[in-house]
Structure formats: structure tokens, C-alpha cells
């Protein structure tokens, strides 16, 4: 496919999500419309009210019900979308596992926001990090453009017959969800063709025949049944296998999309910046990468070999890619915008350090927890992290591996 | 349960690959419904209320029959029976 002409719209991250969903021929959107909901479903409800889409919009009484409605609709074969954030996502917790266990490819956008208490719905990644083991694919976008692109890709990835897993597209609350940017959008028919119609893997039903996995009176099947200790474990192993397969599918869908849009984000899993010859590097997720890249440009001009590895796909985690990308660096600072209380640092730190354990070179890895509850992270603070890394490389060791950015002592 | 399948062989999403009638759930019960045919008026309320469909009307016998392969012993039939013809007995 050839690269296509695109128009540029001024959209904030939420509107970019809604615009992409509008173009993806979604059958059902179920959502809870009040705080901590964002503009995403507000825009979608407008598209529905204006007759711009043929989508059934269901307002539910809670996020738990919203995801339950999406799951049920998805199991009938409908393309399904919802959005949430913060406490709303936390309330979905039970149904997140049911959705992934039922292999329902629901796509959900999350405007990453903090969890109470104290009450705070400003930006941080505590909400999605707390759901990282729920069996959902997690893609973290850096800017509103990537939010748009990722939502379009997410339907293809989630619904791929080899994957069949729900997917979250995560956008930093406020930095992305409420900031207006120029967003290039593909023509409606191009998106419709790219996403295509939903595919269904075949399953063996209780009538002894192979039928598409969806609720269909012509091919009755039992979905969401009980599984005793003699079978439950096997189904969980299948979900893990689907995650492994998703690594390749995410790459393929990303590359195919890059050809028509002209936009790419590394290999779709990891997005490296100035990393080939870097001596020191940071690792982060989401919008912070934009600030880090600006700081790297300054440092490079000063002769500092600084680099960045942005993890775009956190679930499934591209472990080998992380190892290969970072093993030649001398010191790595992993930035976490959430906490794992009582653990040794944040979740991203755990994963990156774990990936590097199998490397013979094993660079020094330190953790920087930052930006909780919407606290700003400035270029000066990022500079200070690289300065720390330079000192760590000089000394060859580190006494305090877990540090806090912009925290008052 | 000797020929259980591996994770590569089974349907995804835990879709049942055999009819639920092959899963005998009758061994879950602690109490077993025993009917006194003399008190029973064949009103069939028990068959209607049974959540497992384990009470059948047998037209040839002009009588009901409990299918103990699926009766979980919940006792709803005994509770609903207007003539108290069903007694729940410890198995």
C-alpha cells in the first residue's frame, strides 16, 4: 500500500481517540459518563447523536457495568470500545480478567490518572500499572498523534485470530488527554479498509463442530463456563501464548500502518532515540519521552552520549528487545510514573532490570519515580538524571538505586 | 478424568467442547430428594422449579422421575411441593 494524503486536525488526545474510534466502524461503545471519564466518550456520544456513526452507545451506571456490557457485546461478534481512567479502571478490575479470559478483543483507551487517596485525578500511570497482570495488551502513546495511530492499530491487533486479547491504549492524563496538538488523520475509507471486518478463530463447540468464536444461535456454544483445577491452568497458559504471539502481530500491524501513514514508532514495541552509541540512557513510557528527547538533543550538542528507550508496548513486554537495546549502555535510569509499594522500585524498573539480568554486560540500572499525582517533570530534572548517570558511570557503583524526582524531603 | 487434554488441544476462551450433559454434577449433593408417591399429586411444580432440569415427566408412567446424575440436592423441589411429598435425606 502507498502512503495516503492526510488532513491535519487540531485535536487533544481524547479527541484523537474518539476520532479514531469513529473511523473504525465500532458496533458498540459502553461507558460510564461521569468523573473520572474524559472527553473521549463525550465526543463519541456526539458522533452517535449526530448520526455520523452506526454505533450503539450504552451509558451504564458504573465502569464495572460498562466493561461487562462491552464484554457481552464483544462475545456476540461486535467490535467494541470503552474508555476509562483512574478509579474507573480500578472498578473494572474484576471484569478486566473476565474479558481477557473470555478472549474478547475489547479496545479501551485509558487517560492515565492517579488513584485515591488522597483524592487526585491528575496524571500518573498508577491506574494501568496496577492492571498490568490482567491479561490486557498495553500500548503507551507519546503524543496525540500516536494516540490516534495506536487506537486504529489496537483493533487490528486485539481482533487478530492469533491474538484475541483485549487491548488498552494508554495516554497520559492531561499532558496528552487534554492538550491540543496537530494530528494527521487518515481518510475514513482508508481506516475502514485497514481495520477490516472482525475475524473469528474457530473453536470446537459442544455439538462437536468447528464454529467461529462468537455467540450465534446457528452454532450454539457455552462461553465463560466454570473450569475446575483440572483445566483452569491450561486456559491461562493459552492466554500467555496469545501474548507471545501478540509481540509479532503488533510489529506487523505497526509496519503495515507505517506504510500508509508514513508514521512509525520504532518497531511498534520499543522506540529508541539516540541509543546506538549511547553510554547513558533513560527508559520511560508515554509523554515524558517527548521531554527526554528534547533534553537529549541539548546533551548531544554538548557532546554527552545520552539516549532513550521508550517502551511503547508494555504488555506483552519485549524482553529480548529491551536487553539488546540497553546491554551496551553503561548506566540506565528507568523512570516510573507509579509506585509498587513495598517492592524494590517501580514496575518498569522491575521489568527492565529483569531483562538485563540475562545480559553478560549487565549495565547499572537505577530507578527514578516521578510525576505522581500530576506533578510536572521539567527538562532540568531530566538533565539532572543524566548528570547522575554520568557520575554513576564514573564511580562504577550506586548506593541508592531507587530515587524520587521533584520530591520535597 | 484420565484423558485430560493439554493446553494446545483445547478450545480457546474455555468454550465447552462437549455437551454439559457429560458433566455429571449429581455427586455434588449432600441431601437427596425422596418422594412419597402417595402424597404426590403430580402437579409438576417441582419439575418447573428445579434449576437443573433434573425432574422429568414420564408420560408413559404418568409420573415424575428424578435424574440423580444432575440433581445437586438444593432442596427447592421439597420447599415448593404443596403437599410436602418430597423429603431431603442425607446421602
Q: For B3-58, what is each residue's pLDDT tens digit?
A: 899 999 999 999 988 887 888 999 999 999 999 999 999 999 999 999 999 999 99
**CATH number 3.40.50.970 is the correct assignment for the domain at A7-201+226-261:** yes
Nearest to B63 by CA among B35, B29, B83: B35
Cβ contacts of B5 on chain A, cutoff 8 Å: 234
pLDDT at A317: 98
Collapsing DSSP to helix, strand or coil, A62 comes out as: coil
B contact test, residue of A71, A163, A204, A236 with most B CBs within 10 A? A204
Chain A interface includes B4 (CB < 8 A): yes
Q: What pTM was estimated for this model as a whole?
A: 0.93
Report, in angstroms and rounded to the nearest whole number, the Rg of chain B calculated over CA atoms. 17
The region that residue A224 occupies, defined by phi over 0 for left and psi between -120 and 50 for alpha, beta otherwise, is left
Fold matches, A7-201+226-261 and A270-404: yes
Hey, are the CB atoms on A213 and B10 less than 8 Å from each other?
no
Secondary structure (DSSP) of A169-233: EEEETTTTTS-EEEEEE--HHHHHHHH-SPP--EEE-TTS-EEESS--TTS----S----TTTHH
Nearest to A109 by CA among A62, A152, A50: A152
Does residue B59 surpass a pLDDT of 60?
A: yes
Distance CA B55, CA A263 (A): 64
Cβ contacts of B1 on chain A, cutoff 8 Å: 230
Q: Where are the alpha helices (DSSP H) in A223-378?
A: 232-261, 288-301, 319-326, 347-357
Are the CB atoms for B14 and A224 separated by under 8 Å? Answer: yes
Hey, are the CB atoms on B12 and A227 less than 8 Å from each other?
no
Distance CA A193, CA B10 (A): 33
Collapsing DSSP to helix, strand or coil, A278 comes out as: coil
Distance CA A130, CA B5 (A): 33
Positive or negative CA dihedral for A140, A321, A195, A93? negative
Secondary structure (DSSP) of B26-79: GGG-SEEEEE-TTT-----HHHHH-TT--EEEETTTTEEEE-TTT-----HHHH
Beta bridge partner(s), residue B19: none
pLDDT at B20: 77
Does residue B2 surpass a pLDDT of 70?
A: no
Report in angstroms the alpha-carbon separations of A72 from A121, A186, A255, A385, B68. 29, 30, 31, 47, 33
CA distance B20 to chain A (A): 8
User: Beta A7-12 vs A180-185: how paired, if at all?
Assistant: antiparallel
Count up the domains in chain B and report the number: 1
Does residue B1 surpass a pLDDT of 60?
A: no
CA distance B85 to chain A (A): 33
B contact test, residue of A74, A163, A211, A222 with most B CBs within 10 A? A222
Residue in chain B closest to A165 (alpha carbons) equals B13
User: With 0-12 CB in 10 A as exposed, 13-18 as middle and 19+ as buried, what is A184?
Assistant: middle
User: CATH number of the domain that B74 lies in?
Assistant: 3.30.70.20
pLDDT at A255: 98
B contact test, residue of A225, A230, A232 with most B CBs within 10 A? A225
Nearest to A250 by CA among A232, A230, A270, A278: A270
Containing structural domain, residue B46: 24-90
Positive or negative CA dihedral for A134, A92, A404, A299? positive
Residue recorded with cell 475475524: A199
Give the contacts of B54 (CB within 8 A, at least 6 positions apart).
Answer: B26, B66, B67, B68, B69, B70, B71, B72
Chain B interface includes A3 (CB < 8 A): no
Break chain A into its structural domains and give their ranges. Answer: 7-201+226-261, 270-404
Cβ contacts of A245 on chain B, cutoff 8 Å: none
Report in angstroms the alpha-carbon separations of A88 from A71, A91, A170. 16, 5, 14
pLDDT at B19: 83
B contact test, residue of A74, A161, A164, A234 with most B CBs within 10 A? A234
Q: C-alpha angle with apex A140: A136 to A143, nearest 5 degrees?
A: 150
Distance CA A61, CA A322 (A): 41
- Class at the top of the CATH hierarchy for domain A270-404: alpha beta
CA distance A22 to chain B (A): 28
pLDDT at A51: 96
Hey, are the CB atoms on A203 and B11 less than 8 Å from each other?
yes
Cβ contacts of B10 on chain A, cutoff 8 Å: 231, 234-235, 238
Nearest to A241 by CA among A201, A285, A205, A206: A201
Instruction: Answer whether residue B47 is part of any domain.
Output: yes
Using CB atoms and an 8 Å cut-off, which of residues 206-235 of chain A contact chain B? 206-208, 213, 221-225, 227, 230-231, 233-235
Instruction: Answer whether residue B12 is part of any domain.
Output: no
User: Beta B63-66 vs B55-58: how paired, if at all?
Assistant: antiparallel
pLDDT at A403: 98
Chain A interface includes B37 (CB < 8 A): no
Hey, are the CB atoms on A204 and B13 less than 8 Å from each other?
no
Per-residue pLDDT of chain A (409 residues; tens, 9 = 90+): 688 999 999 999 999 999 999 999 999 999 999 999 999 999 999 999 999 999 999 999 999 999 999 999 999 999 999 999 999 999 999 999 999 999 999 999 999 999 999 999 999 999 999 999 999 999 999 999 999 999 999 999 999 999 999 999 999 999 999 999 999 999 999 999 999 999 999 999 988 899 999 999 999 999 999 999 999 999 999 999 999 999 999 999 999 999 999 999 999 999 999 999 999 999 999 999 999 999 999 999 999 999 999 999 999 999 999 999 999 999 999 999 999 999 999 999 999 999 999 999 999 999 999 999 999 999 999 999 999 999 999 999 999 999 999 999 9
Hey, are the CB atoms on B7 and A241 less than 8 Å from each other?
yes
Are the CB atoms for A110 and A236 separated by under 8 Å? Answer: no
Amino acid at each position: 500500500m502507498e502512503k495516503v494524503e492526510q488532513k491535519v486536525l487540531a485535536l487533544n488526545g481524547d479527541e484523537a481517540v474518539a476520532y479514531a474510534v469513529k473511523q473504525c466502524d465500532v458496533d458498540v461503545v459502553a461507558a460510564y459518563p461521569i468523573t473520572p471519564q474524559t472527553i473521549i466518550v463525550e465526543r463519541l456520544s456526539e458522533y452517535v447523536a449526530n448520526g455520523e456513526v452506526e454505533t450503539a452507545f450504552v451509558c451504564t451506571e458504573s465502569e464495572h457495568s460498562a466493561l461487562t456490557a462491552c464484554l457481552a457485546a464483544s462475545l456476540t461478534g461486535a467490535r467494541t470500545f470503552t474508555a476509562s481512567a483512574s478509579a474507573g479502571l480500578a472498578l473494572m478490575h474484576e471484569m478486566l480478567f473476565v474479558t481477557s479470559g473470555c478472549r474478547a478483543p475489547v479496545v479501551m483507551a485509558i487517560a492515565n490518572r492517579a488513584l485515591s487517596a488522597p483524592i487526585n485525578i491528575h496524571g500518573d500511570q498508577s491506574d494501568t500499572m496496577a492492571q498490568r497482570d490482567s491479561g490486557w495488551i498495553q500500548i503507551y502513546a507519546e503524543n496525540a498523534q500516536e494516540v490516534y495511530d495506536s487506537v486504529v492499530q489496537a483493533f487490528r491487533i486485539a481482533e487478530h485470530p492469533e491474538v484475541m486479547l483485549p487491548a488498552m491504549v494508554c495516554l497520559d492524563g492531561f499532558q496528552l488527554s487534554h492538550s491540543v496538538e496537530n494530528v494527521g488523520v487518515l481518510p475514513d475509507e482508508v481506516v475502514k479498509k485497514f481495520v477490516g471486518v472482525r475475524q473469528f478463530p474457530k473453536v470446537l463447540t459442544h455439538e462437536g463442530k468447528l464454529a467461529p468464536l462468537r455467540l450465534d444461535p446457528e452454532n450454539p456454544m457455552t462461553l465463560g463456563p466454570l473450569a475446575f483445577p483440572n483445566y483452569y491452568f491450561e486456559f491461562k497458559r493459552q492466554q500467555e501464548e496469545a501474548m507471545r504471539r501478540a509481540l509479532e502481530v503488533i510489529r506487523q500491524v505497526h509496519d503495515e500502518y507505517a506504510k500508509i501513514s508514513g508514521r512509525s514508532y520504532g518497531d511498534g514495541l520499543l522506540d529508541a532515540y539516540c541509543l546506538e552509541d549511547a553510554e547513558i540512557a533513560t527508559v520511560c513510557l508515554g509523554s515524558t519521552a517527548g521531554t527526554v528527547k528534547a533534553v537529549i538533543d541539548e546533551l548531544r550538542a554538548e557532546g554527552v552520549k545520552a539516549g532513550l528507550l521508550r517502551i511503547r508496548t508494555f504488555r506483552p513486554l519485549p524482553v529480548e528487545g529491551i536487553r539488546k537495546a540497553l546491554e551496551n549502555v553503561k548506566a540506565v535510569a528507568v523512570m516510573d510514573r507509579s509506585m509498587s509499594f513495598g517492592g524494590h522500585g517501580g514496575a518498569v524498573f522491575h521489568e527492565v532490570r529483569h531483562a538485563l539480568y540475562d545480559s553478560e554486560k549487565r549495565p547499572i540500572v537505577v530507578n527514578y519515580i516521578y510525576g505522581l499525582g500530576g506533578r510536572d517533570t521539567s527538562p532540568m530534572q531530566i538533565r539532572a538524571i543524566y548528570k547522575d548517570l554520568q557520575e554513576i558511570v564514573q564511580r562504577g557503583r550506586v548506593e541508592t538505586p531507587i530515587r524520587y524526582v521533584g520530591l520535597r524531603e | 478424568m484420565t484423558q485430560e487434554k493439554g493446553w494446545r488441544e483445547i478450545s480457546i476462551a474455555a468454550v465447552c467442547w462437549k455437551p454439559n450433559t457429560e458433566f455429571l454434577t449429581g455427586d455434588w449433593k449432600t441431601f437427596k430428594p425422596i418422594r412419597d408417591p402417595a402424597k404426590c399429586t403430580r402437579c409438576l411444580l417441582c419439575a418447573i422449579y428445579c434449576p437443573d432440569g433434573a425432574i422429568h415427566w414420564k408420560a408413559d408412567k404418568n409420573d415424575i422421575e428424578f435424574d440423580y446424575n444432575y440433581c445437586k440436592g438444593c432442596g427447592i423441589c421439597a420447599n415448593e411441593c404443596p403437599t410436602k411429598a418430597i423429603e431431603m435425606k442425607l446421602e
